[in-house]
Amino acid sequence: MDQRRAAYSVRWYYFFRFMAMGSMFPYLGPYFKEYCGATDRDIGLFSMAGAVVALFTDGVWSVLADKASSRARFTAGLCLMSAFVVPMLAFVRDFWSVLAVLLLHALFFSPITPMANSVALEQLGTRGRAGFGTIRVWGTVGFLVSLWLIGPQLDAAGLLWMFPVFSLGTLVAAGFMWRIPARDRRAASGVLAAAVRALCRKRNVLGFLLAAFFASLGSHMGYVFFSIYARELGANNTLLGRLWSIGVGAEIAMMLFAARLVSRIGVKRLILVGMLGVFAKWAGMSLASTWWHLLPFQLFHAASFGAFYIGAVSFMDAESPENVRSTAQAVYNILSVTLCRIIAGPLSGEIAGHIGYSGLMRLCGLMGLVGFVLTAVLVREPVRPEGGRNDDGGSDADRVGRGAAVESRDRG
């Protein structure tokens, strides 16, 4: 399979994978409320449960993927397992049974995104990495298509149908991921461990992970109850899908122009734009008194997710050597996404119970502002691979010569 066909498979993987996610995740909160009788605290715990599993397993999965002969086929296998587990949710109602299925699903689902991103970046090659957004945008389009098509069908047929739709889309995505060819970039265990340790000791990486933690925590806390908040403001499943689609449409625009923005303003400034978007989106939504007041603030999703996501993936990719890129994405995913989800679930449930959904949204906006300040103060622009310098002042060749990594750095 030539590079063009591989890129074709990556695009369609993202399309069907996110189409599957768009058919289920916006509606899970209302489903738990209406079908399972879950409380806000229960929903917070459901949100946390999968993240707890991810915290202990994502790193293991990603190390195995970096050592496997094919990251793509390893990722496809996890997609298959995710597709088989999800329909079990349609047959359970009590708290402990739902929790058990969510935990099992998280075991296979949570590592997929960082692994798929590393596969996509690997296919783009060193000089094509700035174009990641134009590949990832296919996932956004799939999510948007799902929101417009599935929401009305769920209003007519019931929320239970989201589970088989999710499984079908994930199976198709797994098929496209399976077709992507392997590349010879496996690392020996000692080299892998040394490279990961070096990555996690870098002050620039640590500063970014700290800042990203606060901004991600704000977004995750908001999303735990966003759909329920919109329903309480008068939106049904169809309108909820339209509401999500506004944000996804804005995200598409950001993904398409992300490469130009990175080349013009740099990765750090793109991340700063994303964190300001977190503040503007959630603080603005806290002022809503009916569901359609949320619409204009969904446009900030272009920054709060699109800019932040592309910036974060690009930052970690630029800071990591080639043989640990899956693991580097997993480090970001564990510390600034998974850990946030663990905290966001129960914390947002408690906060919503005490100060209401609008108060929760205001707090989420403030968390984005904290992330913005930390990024401005602690984070430097990552240096591109060509002839750069390492944090310790040595060149790529010096670093390899000292044995900290065997392969040449993708970031100076």
pLDDT mean over 4-13: 84
CA distances from 343 to 52, 174, 195, 212, 279 (A): 10, 30, 29, 14, 19
Residues 194-245: tens digit of each pLDDT: 666 666 778 888 899 999 999 999 999 999 899 999 999 999 888 888 898 8
Amino acid 150: pLDDT? 85
- Structural domains in the chain, sorted by start: 3-401 (1.20.1250.20)
Residue 161 burial (CB count, 10 A): 15
Q: What tens digit of pLDDT does each residue of 46-84 get?
A: 888 877 887 788 778 877 776 766 788 899 999 999 999
> pLDDT per residue over 309-365, tens digit each?
889 988 888 887 666 666 677 778 777 777 888 898 889 988 998 999 999 999 999
The pTM of the full predicted model, rounded to 2 decimals, is 0.70
Q: Provide the pLDDT for residue 205.
A: 86
Give the confidence band of 308 by pLDDT, cuts at 50, 70, 90. very high
Per-residue pLDDT at 409 exceeds 50? no
Instruction: Say which residue, 297 or 249, is predicted with more confidence.
Output: 297
Q: Which of 101-115, 244-258, 307-321, 375-389 has the lowest mean pLDDT?
A: 375-389
Looking at the predicted structure, is the pLDDT value of residue 189 above 80?
no
The residue among 255 and 291 whose pLDDT is bigger is: 291
